[in-house]
């Protein structure tokens, strides 16, 4: 009960009056599952349809009616939908305790921006939890590293690139746009990975273990590999509840291809109701299918030279696609992409390496070097060393904070 009350108070602290909407989603998923043994599966199907209608209404019609979109709606509704679908497929136990179910659904560390969890993974842990706060050197490092990624790296990168991506500055070169887009690729990664680490760390303090949400996505060697590493809780949700039920690309055909385009299109529309997000999803669908047809959808490559080339190709394609994700209109995205391609074609980067972009590149290189170092050394560090390193990271957070508080994925 304490966790549920804390989560509700946390939500209300953002001055959002839509908490009843989240409670409605919880009730509309909990009650039919609770009663499904008596009323049959039609209750669950009705519940699922209502949940989808709620998501569609708020995402695509509420703004025209001057109704605000509830904070955390997309994340909460994917958790209620997964619970309902699992009940339809007889996967996972039916939760009978509403307090336990709502504690899972509204758990404050993951409430606003995920990771998107499954009831069958978290509820058993909630029942076994002693409700005691756990804190150790591993959690301390996870929280400190997450804050460092967000505050020191992501927020400071944003200061350098936002002027060029948020508005049309006359005379901006293609090289400047290219470095800005590269900067954004790391800003969104550091920002969201940092948030995920903080959320996972706080959950561990509460005795709840969540799976990683990122696994070095920019080391991917194919689009398929990228989506096994990026925002894993979302990509696995679409894989399990959309892609696989529709038919996969295991047997290349119209059904498999259609399932890829539907999955990525829905992923784009989940992020926002503008054409840009839809195009971003379509770009990934096209790349995914093309790689499959060309036999390039690999997950492993032993030849180091070939691996580096595949990694560069994947990162370049993913980064260019981020343009449509970041800017406000399709016309603006096409303009930036056109300037970048002209610069690459002429190989003219003379105006791109101003001092501010040298600092941008420094932040990116710093983040990647530290990440690789911590990946290699964290398991070998002593408890005292981890606490000391955590303290050092927090000092940098205090010294280099910019005042920005918003995580990018809060808007979704």
Residues 217 and 323 in one domain: yes
Residues 89 and 207 in one domain: no
Residues 81 and 151 in one domain: no
404 versus 127: the higher-pLDDT residue is 127
Q: Could you tell me the CA-to-CA distances from 270 to 58, 60, 155, 230, 406 in Å, in that order?
A: 11, 10, 24, 16, 19
Is there a domain that residue 137 lies in? Answer: no
Residue 71 pLDDT greater than 60, yes or no: yes
Q: What is the pLDDT of residue 33?
A: 92
Q: Mention every residue, 6+ apart, whose C-beta is less than 8 A from residue 5.
A: none
Residue 248 pLDDT greater than 80, yes or no: no
Residues 150 and 297 in one domain: yes
Residues 86 and 230 in one domain: no
Residues 122 and 150 in one domain: no
Is there a domain that residue 407 lies in? Answer: no
Q: What tens digit of pLDDT does each residue of 173-225 get?
A: 788 889 899 999 999 999 999 999 999 999 999 999 999 999 999 999 999 99
Residue 103 Cα to chain centre, angstroms: 22
Nearest CA among 227, 207, 198 for reference residue 215: 227
Residues of the chain with pLDDT > 70, as a percent, come to 92
d(CA 291, CA 266): 20
Q: Are 222 and 298 in contact (CB under 8 A)?
A: yes
Q: What is the pLDDT of residue 397?
A: 93
Residue 64 pLDDT greater than 70, yes or no: yes
Q: What is the pLDDT of residue 355?
A: 55
Stretch 145-152: mean pLDDT = 93
Nearest CA among 143, 158, 150, 14 for reference residue 73: 14
Is there a domain that residue 410 lies in? Answer: no
Stretch 257-263: mean pLDDT = 92
Q: Could you tell me the CA-to-CA distances from 273 to 51, 63, 168, 189, 270 in Å, in that order?
A: 17, 10, 22, 22, 8
Residues of 351-365 as b/e, b for ≥16 C-beta within 10 angstroms? ebeeeebeebeebbe
Residues 107 and 218 in one domain: no
Residue 124 pLDDT greater than 60, yes or no: yes
Q: What is the pLDDT of residue 53?
A: 96
Q: What is the pLDDT of residue 352?
A: 57
Stretch 295-299: mean pLDDT = 86
State whether residue 372 is helix, strand or coil: helix
116 versus 160: the higher-pLDDT residue is 116
* 257 — pLDDT class (breaks 50, 70, 90): confident
Residues 222 and 346 in one domain: yes
Give the phi and the psi of residue 87 in degrees, each rounded to 5: -65, -40
d(CA 251, CA 257): 9
Q: Which domain holds residue 319?
A: 142-399
Residue 38 pLDDT greater than 60, yes or no: no
Q: What is the pLDDT of residue 146?
A: 94
Average pLDDT, rounded, for the chain: 88
């Amino acid at each position: 009960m304490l966790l549920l009350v804390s989560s509700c108070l946390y939500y209300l602290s953002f001055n959002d009056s839509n908490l009843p909407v989240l409670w409605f989603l919880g009730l509309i998923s909990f009650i039919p599952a609770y009663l499904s043994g008596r009323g049959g599966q039609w209750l669950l199907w009705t519940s699922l349809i209502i949940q989808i209608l709620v998501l569609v209404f708020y995402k695509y019609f509420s703004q025209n009616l001057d109704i605000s979109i509830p904070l955390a709606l997309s994340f909460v509704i994917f958790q209620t939908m997964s619970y309902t679908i699992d009940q339809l497929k007889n996967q996972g136990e039916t939760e009978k305790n509403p307090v336990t179910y709502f504690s899972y659904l509204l758990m404050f560390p993951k409430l606003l921006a995920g990771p998107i969890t499954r009831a069958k993974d978290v509820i058993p842990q909630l029942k076994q939890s002693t409700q005691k706060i756990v804190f150790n050197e591993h959690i301390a490092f996870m929280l400190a590293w997450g804050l460092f990624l967000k505050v020191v790296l992501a927020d400071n990168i944003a200061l350098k690139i936002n002027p060029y991506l948020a508005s049309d500055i006359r005379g901006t070169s293609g090289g400047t746009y290219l470095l800005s887009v590269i900067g954004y690729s790391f800003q969104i990664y550091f920002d969201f990975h940092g948030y995920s680490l903080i959320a996972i760390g706080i959950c561990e303090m509460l005795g709840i273990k969540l799976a990683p949400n990122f696994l070095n996505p920019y080391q991917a060697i194919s689009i398929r590999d990228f989506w096994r590493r990026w925002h894993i809780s979302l990509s696995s949700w679409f894989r399990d509840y959309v892609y696989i039920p529709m038919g996969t690309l295991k047997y290349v055909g119209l059904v498999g291809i259609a399932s890829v385009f539907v999955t990525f299109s829905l992923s784009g529309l989940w992020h926002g109701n503008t054409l840009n997000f839809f195009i971003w999803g379509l770009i990934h669908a096209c790349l995914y299918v093309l790689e499959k047809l060309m036999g390039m959808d690999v997950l492993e490559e032993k030849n180091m030279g070939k691996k580096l080339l595949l990694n560069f190709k994947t990162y370049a394609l993913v980064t260019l696609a981020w343009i449509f994700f970041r800017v406000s209109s399709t016309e603006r995205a096409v303009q930036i992409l056109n300037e970048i391609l002209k610069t690459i074609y002429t190989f003219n980067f003379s105006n791109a390496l101003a001092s501010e972009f040298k600092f941008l590149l420094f932040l990116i290189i710093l983040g990647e070097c530290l990440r690789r170092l911590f990946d290699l050394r964290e398991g070998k560090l002593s408890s005292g060393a981890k606490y000391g390193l955590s303290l050092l990271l927090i000092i940098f957070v205090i010294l280099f904070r910019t005042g920005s508080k918003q995580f990018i994925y809060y808007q979704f």
